[in-house]
Amino acid sequence: MGRSPTLLTVRVLGIETSCDETAAAVVAETGVAERPWMLASNVVASQGAIHREWGGVVPELASRQHVRDICGVVEAALECASLTLDAIDGVAVTQGPGLVGSLLVGVAFAKSLAFARGIPIIPTHHLAGHIESLTLAHGELPRPAVILVVSGGHTSLYLVSEPGVYQLIGRTRDDAAGEAYDKVAKLLGLPYPGGPVVDRLAQQGNDRAIDFPVTRLTHADRNAPANTAAGILPPDIARRTDFSFSGLKTAVLHHVRKQSPDGSPLPDDHVADICASFQRVVVTALLDRTFEAARWLNARSVGLAGGVSANTRLRADAEARGRKLYLPVFVPPLSLSTDNAAMIAAAGLRRFRAGHVGTLDFNAEASLSLHNADG
């Protein structure tokens, strides 16, 4: 059986299987309010090589691989932390959003483990995990904090005024930024996942070589989820904190077709120029909105999280903007930017301390929302 959950500091095993990484990690409380958690281990088994062959994630293959990997990954996380299951006080697992077949593997595993050990289960939101990766790495951020979660599935802006309360103030109306990176990479004939490859090639290109269009959202969002920026930002500003990347992706497609009507590969230096010019527009759009929201909300810090926050230019430009405005900018280390279970354990600890322990009847939810929720 696990230790008593009334212990002064608890240790949580995190499990994350929302997409194509099977991940487990152990995070422990420190007992120090400003830096509440410490990482004991962080293990990720990536399925990148399996999906690369197909140019993107194949859901059925992802679920099957999670089943193969989950036991070994959890064992490795315990071993790296030099702990046995006796030392674990709770299990936090990604409940959603994500691929439902993938989520189900982690959820079923975590429920079984929690039931067998008689310890609490903590269903956790994937984006709360990305947000809390910042607290895990840097301690509590100065609040209010404006946090951009930018990944393959999401591009959302959150206001955090209270620990563990995430208010949605902007989101993409179409593609996520990471999805745009991956699709642009694909149409340039680059391997999956495209983000890191475009990032690398962009460093050799001229970011002004091609004038790709900057999306301006002039109309209100008819499909806006309830309670987004309404009431938090003035309506005209709220409209400007939404994102859109599908037009840019189409512009890159038209450019490539024009340059190579017969579909033959473009010269390497031209590919690098396309990557750099595309990336300049994406990074500018992300940071303009983030810093505009931060200004309106008198934010005391800005955070970037999620897979795209690994991007070299996004990090450098965000830090440069922050320095100019005397506004601290926080970014997780690379190991906590892309999907991992340490962030799930951290967000789970936050929920555990807020009294949100789950019962064994919760289910995986592919489109679980975090809108104005308490995580």
Partner touching 178 among ligand KG4, Zn ion, none, CB below 5 to 8 Å by kind: ligand KG4
Chain residue at closest Cβ approach to Zn ion: 151
**Which region, judged by CB under 5 A, interacts with Zn ion, from 144-152, 205-213, 340-348, 366-374?**
144-152
21 binds Zn ion (CB under 5 A): no
CB of 103 to ligand KG4, least distance (A): 12
CB of 355 to ligand KG4, least distance (A): 27
CA distance 181 to 109: 32
What would the two tokens of residue 122 be? 């903590």
What would the two tokens of residue 72 be? 């070994």
CB of 311 to ligand KG4, least distance (A): 3
Partner touching 195 among Zn ion, ligand KG4, none, CB below 5 to 8 Å by kind: ligand KG4
Residue with token string 């922050």: 322
Give residue 170's identity as a one-letter amino acid code.
Answer: G
CB of 181 to ligand KG4, least distance (A): 5
Question: Within 316-375, which residues bind Zn ion (CB under 5 A)?
Answer: 339
Residues forming the site for ligand KG4 (CB under 6 A) = 19, 151-153, 178, 181-182, 193-196, 199, 306-308, 310-311, 338-339
Question: Within 273-292, which residues bind Zn ion (CB under 5 A)?
Answer: none
Give whichever of 95 and 311 is closer to ligand KG4, judged by the CB atom: 311
Give whichever of 20 and 339 is closer to Zn ion, judged by the CB atom: 339
CB of 237 to ligand KG4, least distance (A): 27
Strands (E) in the chain, as ranges, are: 11-16, 21-29, 37-46, 90-96, 121-125, 145-150, 155-160, 167-171, 301-305, 329-330
228 binds Zn ion (CB under 5 A): no
The HSE-up count of residue 297 (CA atoms within 13 Å, CB side) is 32
Strand order in the sheet with 37-46: 37-46, 21-29, 11-16, 90-96, 121-125
Residue with token string 């989820």: 225
CB of 154 to Zn ion, least distance (A): 7
Give whichever of 120 and 196 is closer to ligand KG4, judged by the CB atom: 196
Q: How far is CA 45 from CA 19, 22, 74, 134, in A?
A: 12, 5, 10, 22
Nearest Cα to Cα of residue 131 among 368, 365, 309: 309
> Using CB under 5 A as the criterion, which residues of the chain lie in contact with Zn ion when the complex forms?
151, 339
